[in-house]
Amino acid sequence: MKKFFIGLLKAVGILLLILVVALGGFLWLGNYHPKPVESAAVSCPESAPLLEAGQDVKALTWNVQTLSSKNYVFWSDLPNNDGPDEKPSKEDITATFEETVRVIRDENPDIIFIQEIDSGAERTYYEDQMARLTEMLPEYPCYSSVFDWKSAYVPHPRIHGSVGWKVAILSKYKISEAERIQLSTANKSFLENQFKIKPAILKAMMPTSDGGQFAALTLHLDLYVPGTDAKEIQLAEIDKVLSELDAAGIPWLLGGDFNLLPFDDAAYARLAPEQQKYYNPKSELKILTDTYQVAPTVEEMTGADFAKWFTRWPNDPSISGPDRALDYYFLSDMLGIGEYYVRSEDTLYISDHLPVVVEFQIP
């Protein structure tokens, strides 16, 4: 009998060990663990034209909300994470692709920055949305994309499946190389750290006809975590990347969804109390606006026409229209800034963010 119990204990111990190893393997292999800096795949034909010195260039940045339309209140759209919807229909996704492409074609930018485009996510039927977008936009033959959230299975009661969203850059002009630069995040529990969003900068290098280079950068920052300095660290890391480009004499443009309000007490105060929890009352964006050209300017975003620059309309029924600015451009001092604007007149019902356009001149 004693031998039986010893054998049983050994068997249970082996089983527990197998379960621990399997769980560890899932947490590691089933989740995304990028290096601090990684090369990013680029698709670009050798025949793609080069940017010309002195050329006027137009860019568009847009968080496309996984092409899921404005016809839903997703579970994460409400402050208590209790929205009724978990995924869009395939028909709404297709209609949103068509509307997104319509706007892009009408604006006809030279460079496109995209945030929140899905790849392999259960909620959008495991589609590689970049493949569909680039097929619909053959006039942008050069592109690169990287993940900032990826997991084979998220054990969240409203997800229970795979996730995968990306940031991307599409261009009419040659991209020679690209890289993913990981940004710091707020430290959470061991389990939460495995599944959390891992925001990064996607930097694409574009050669110019005079032998120089231009850097196009995009990002999608995660939400503010109260009680942490994660945002200050992220902004300092972004500043380091930009200052290194400046030191190398490389002109650059950074556009994206910063998930940060303008540095303005009024911008925070205008939000409903349940919406304020997503932001620091003193926006960390000041780290960049104090140093670099920004479009729109701080004066415009905090002046009498501040609403002109709103770029976010949450899918929350209590919010009747765009109510905050979160999407911006920062530009190298080497670039001449032309016209810039938020396109809102016909884009309100495509995504929960509005596209932002800027024109500039390559030196």
Domain ranges of the chain: 1-30, 37-361
Would you state the pLDDT for residue 193? 85
Does residue 157 carry a pLDDT above 80? Answer: yes
Q: Which value, to the nearest 10 degrees, does the dihedral of the CA atoms of residues 81, 86, 88, 89 take?
A: -160
What global pTM score does this model have? 0.94
Distance CA 173, CA 206 (A): 7
Q: Which pLDDT score, from 0 to 100, does residue 19 have?
A: 47
pLDDT in tens, 178-216: 999 999 999 888 878 888 999 999 999 999 999 999 999
Q: What is the pLDDT of residues 23-76, one digit of tens each?
A: 455 555 678 999 999 999 999 999 999 999 999 999 999 999 999 999 999 999
| Mean pLDDT confidence for 334-362 | 97
Which CATH class name applies to 37-361? alpha beta
Q: Which ranges of 76-218 would DSSP assign to H, the alpha helix?
A: 90-107, 129-136, 190-195
Q: Over the chain, what is the mean pLDDT?
A: 93
Helix count and strand count (H, E) for the chain: 9, 14
- State the pLDDT at residue 13: 55
The arithmetic mean of pLDDT across residues 244-268, rounded, is 96
Instruction: State mean pLDDT over 260-289.
Output: 93
